[in-house]
Amino acid sequence: MKIYSQSGKDSESVLENILKENELKKEEIIFKTQEKKGGLFKGTSYEVSVVKLEDILEYLKEYLESLLSKMGLEVTFESKIRENQIYLKMYSNNNAILIGKNGQTLTALQLITRQVINKEIGMLPYIILDVENYKDKKNEQIERLAKRTAKEVVKTGIDVSLENMNSYERRIVHNALTNFKGITTKSEGEEPNRHVVIKKVN
């Protein structure tokens, strides 16, 4: 993956210059800024590093293809980049193995790929991996559960704690109930036992 780096006195100007010189748009890249302290007579400067999300996506496909072939899986990909996020959907000759029990293998793959990319470029892009439509269906189930539970909370006035969820799943609950009248949501507990509590408000 190519990393575009430049330094200067103003980080925003440096970033704009990199984008302009390489004909890039902000929604197409991920970047990081490092502050560099100058000497006695030198001011602070900033080094900005930029990587194209498209390059990360291609690297990701190659890495996963190699890794999954060692598991005896043949995989094809469907991908898109939207709002600085990488969405990668996988189709294999054995989706059950790729997903794992309760999605554990898929979750592990997502964690591994983020760590691999971070090691390569020192940045953590937002990556969402899915197998066929497994995550889409699971997201819909979580949304339905959240709304059904919220209705019960409004009706009974009793707060309800949902089962433990990862940060991605908790975000789905919060987003699903953002405009739901009469309730509020709050994440409580410590990882890996963090969960969402749905509470009634006056």
Residue range(s) defining the domain that contains residue 152: 136-200
**157 shares its domain with 95:** no
Domain count, the chain: 3
pTM for the model: 0.74
Alpha helices in 39-184 (DSSP H): 53-69, 95-99, 104-121, 134-156, 167-176
pLDDT in tens, 12-50: 999 999 999 999 999 999 999 998 876 666 778 899 999
Same-domain check for residues 128 and 140: no
CA separation for the pair 80, 57 (Å, rounded): 9
pLDDT of 171: 93
- Shared domain for 127 and 61, answered yes or no, is yes
Residues 47 and 17 in one domain: yes
One domain, residues 66 and 110: yes
From 107, 132, 157, give the residue that closes a domain.
132
Residue 60 sits in the same domain as residue 122:
yes
pLDDT at residue 172, as a whole number: 94
> Do 41 and 67 sit in the same domain of this protein?
no
The residue count of the chain comes to 202
Residue 84's φ and ψ, nearest 5 degrees, are 65, 20
What is the SS3 assignment for 196? strand
CATH of the domain at 163: 3.30.1370.50
Residues 60 and 127 in one domain: yes
Q: Taking residues 41-63, what's their average pLDDT?
A: 91
pLDDT at 68: 94
Is there a single domain that holds both residue 43 and residue 67? no
Residue 189, both tokens: 């507990």
pLDDT at 141: 94
Per residue in 109-138, pLDDT (tens digit) is 999 999 999 999 999 998 989 999 898 888
Residue 13: partners with Cβ closer than 8 Å, 6 or more residues away: none
The distance from CA 28 to its chain's CA centroid, rounded to whole angstroms, is 15
Strand partners, 48: 6, 33
Contacts of 127 (CB under 8 A, 6+ apart): 60, 85, 86, 88, 110, 113, 114, 117
Is-contact 151 168, C-beta < 8 A?
no
User: Higher-confidence residue: 166 or 91?
Assistant: 91
Q: What is the pLDDT of residue 22?
A: 93
> Does 8 have pLDDT greater than 80?
yes
Tell me, what's the pLDDT at 38?
67
Average pLDDT, the chain: 92
Percent of the chain with pLDDT over 90: 77
Residue recorded with tokens 């405009």: 179
pLDDT band of 193, cuts 50, 70, 90: confident
| Contact assessment for residue 68 and residue 62, using Cβ atoms and an 8 Å cutoff | no
Statement to judge: residues 38 and 92 lie in one domain = no
Same domain (yes/no): 122, 59: yes
